[in-house]
């Protein structure tokens, strides 16, 4: 065999080995991409089954019907669901008590059992003069994700 043919054979074998190695690396990379996409899809599906509740204190200003007063300012506890699933079996605790037993809420309107995605519920607060300016709020709920939801914060009144 002449030297040129031998050199051509060596170049062909080296090219074949390099092509095989690059192909194997591309296959591994593609397998990793498929795994990443599967995890993303799983997270997306889990997110569609999850509710996300949060509470805030809002002030509602309304014109007064009394001639001597200009406006009325009401404080409301707002519970909102920014998740994509319905929240159910909702428990609200204000300073460790259910709203029906807390001094800041009306005994009649402080019940909430279901809150749909994008929905909010508001409860009037009656805050006596000289009360604490912090309200410890705990929310707990269930949703389709089978993971219990929980949110805790101190809110300024």
**For 64-95, how does the pLDDT look when each residue is reduced to its tens digit (9 = 90+)?**
676 666 666 688 899 999 999 999 999 999 99
Query: Within 10 A of 3 (CB to CB), how many other CB atoms are there?
Result: 7
- C-alpha distances (whole Å) from 57 to each of 26, 60, 77, 116, 121 are 54, 10, 5, 20, 12
**For the chain, give me the number of helices (H) and strands (E)?**
1, 7
Question: Could you identify the residue written with the tokens 């998740």?
Answer: 83
Give the pLDDT of residue 68.
Answer: 65
Chain-centroid distance, C-alpha 120: 14
Give the pLDDT of residue 54.
Answer: 96
Domain ranges across the chain: 1-48, 53-156
**For 7-61, how does the pLDDT look when each residue is reduced to its tens digit (9 = 90+)?**
888 888 888 888 899 889 998 999 898 888 888 887 777 777 899 999 999 988 7
Give the pLDDT of residue 87.
Answer: 94
Token readout for 118 is 């994008």
Reported pTM: 0.68
Confidence band for 140, pLDDT divided at 50, 70 and 90: very high
Please give the CATH architecture assigned to the domain spanning 53-156. Sandwich (2.60)
């Amino acid at each position: 065999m002449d030297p040129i043919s031998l050199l051509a054979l060596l170049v062909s074998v080296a090219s074949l080995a390099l092509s095989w190695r690059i192909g194997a690396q591309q296959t591994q990379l593609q397998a990793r991409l498929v795994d990443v996409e599967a995890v993303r899809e799983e997270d997306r599906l889990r997110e569609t089954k999850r509710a996300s509740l949060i509470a805030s204190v809002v002030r509602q200003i309304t014109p007064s019907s009394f001639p001597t007063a200009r406006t009325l300012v009401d404080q409301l506890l707002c519970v909102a669901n920014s998740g994509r699933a319905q929240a159910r079996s909702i428990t609200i605790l204000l300073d460790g008590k259910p709203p029906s037993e807390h001094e800041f809420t009306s005994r009649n309107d402080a019940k909430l059992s279901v809150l749909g995605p994008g929905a909010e519920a508001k409860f009037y607060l009656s805050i006596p003069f000289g009360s604490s300016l912090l309200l410890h709020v705990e929310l707990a709920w269930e949703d389709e994700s089978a993971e219990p939801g929980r949110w805790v914060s101190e809110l300024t009144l």
